[in-house]
Amino acid sequence: MKKAGLIEAPKRGINRITQRGLDVLKKKPQQIDEFKEFRALRHPKEEEGQERETNDKTPEESLEGAYQRLRNDLAADLLQILKTSSPSFFERLVVEVIVKMGYGGTRQDTGKAVGKSGERLF
């Protein structure tokens, strides 16, 4: 529903219906299939020839295609979350990624290098 634009997630764990979602509900549909429309707009070639493609591809190719679609959707979701997050959340996230990758020592050591917005770090 989020990808179809019916709800939004302004913060982690909080969902809010959008104006588009309200408009869909006003129509009192028997089922909500907005995601199919979203996928058709986002991946038009996939939707048109999906049945034909499954016959033309090997199982490995079909799995790879599904994996790539999931990966692209996940990347789009993460980018949306990062764009709506606060600068302090982004800084904490960067520190966490650096520590998990093995750079910067411990979280405490790496966290000392992070300054406040607009402050020069070096």
User: Could you report the per-residue pLDDT of 94-105, keeping only the tens digit for each?
Assistant: 888 888 888 867
Q: Are residues 79 and 96 located together in one domain of the fold?
A: no
Alpha-carbon gap, residue 1 to 25, rounded angstroms: 12
| Domain co-membership, 96 together with 73 | no
Write down the pLDDT at residue 81. 85
79 and 92 both lie in a single domain: no
Identify whether residues 112 and 59 lie together within a single domain.
no
pLDDT at 68: 92
Give the span between the Cα atoms of 16 and 46, in whole angstroms. Answer: 30
Nearest Cα to Cα of residue 87 among 77, 98, 95? 95
Token output for 49: 């020839």
Does residue 121 lie in a domain region?
no
- What pLDDT was estimated at residue 121? 45
The total number of structural domains in the chain stands at 2
The answer as to whether 2 is a domain residue is no
Summarised one tens digit per residue, pLDDT across range 24-39 is: 888 887 777 766 666 6
Task: Please indicate, yes or no, whether residues 21 and 50 belong to a single structural domain of this protein.
Answer: yes
Whether 71 contacts 45, CB under 8 Å: no
For the chain, list residues with pLDDT below 70.
Answer: 34-55, 104, 107-122
User: Are residues 96 and 38 both part of a single domain?
Assistant: no
If asked whether residues 18 and 56 sit together in one domain, one would say yes
96 and 64 in a common domain: no
| Domain enclosing residue 101, as ranges | 86-116
Cα 75 to its chain centre, rounded Å, is: 5
Query: Residues 79, 99: one domain?
Result: no
Residue 1 belongs to a domain: no
Three-class SS state of 91: helix
